[in-house]
Amino acid sequence: GAVTDFGQVVLMFTPVNISRFEFTYVRQAALNDTAVQVFHFRQIDGPNPMTVLQRGSEKAQAVAVQGEIWANADTMLPLRVVLQADTDVGRQEATVDYAPSGYGVLLPVRTDQREIRDGQVFAENHFTYGGFRRFGASADIVFEPEDPR
């Protein structure tokens, strides 16, 4: 099978998409010495956000997701998203940790992903993200006066 960038998973919860999920408060916890509020989520509508590709098959399977969001107790900024999705061949699980950057945006710092088949870990991947850089560009639009001739 194949796994692609889970770092973008927090984008499932944009204002446009948030109504596609049901949220339930679960508990208080701590994550890296930060107090968090943990919420369970379950997809209830819309297109399935996770695509699973299986080796030897040309068919991609789009699957619904559920899991948890761990939010900073003071700011409600998401610090962890835990995903679970059942597929034709097993279960996909992923935990994505986020941290605010010095650039004022939320960025992924780590992803742990597992594929489980018949109750056994079939594949496991660990990703770390770093070296983010800020870039930008600017442009000026200049209108030349028309030649009156």
pLDDT, tens digit (0-9, with 9 covering 90-100), for 84-120: 888 777 788 889 999 988 878 888 899 888 888 888 8
3 confidence band (pLDDT: 50, 70, 90): low
Q: pLDDT for 47-66, tens place per residue?
A: 556 666 666 666 766 677 88
* pLDDT over threshold 90, residue 25: yes
Q: What is the pLDDT of residue 47?
A: 59
* pLDDT over threshold 70, residue 21: yes
Q: What is the mean pLDDT of the chain?
A: 82
* pLDDT over threshold 80, residue 46: no
Q: What is the pLDDT of residue 84?
A: 87
Percent of the chain surpassing pLDDT 70: 85
* pLDDT over threshold 90, residue 37: yes
- Token pair, residue 30, equals 């701590």
Q: What is the pLDDT of residue 104?
A: 81
Instruction: Please give the residue that has the higher pLDDT: either 122 or 49.
Output: 122
The secondary structure of 39-106 as a DSSP string is EEEEE-SSS--EEEE-TT---EEEE--EEEEEEETTT--EEEEEEEEE-SS-EEEEEEEEEE-TTSSE
Nearest alpha carbon to residue 97 among 112, 76, 114: 112
Report phi then psi at 106, rounded to 5. -90, 130
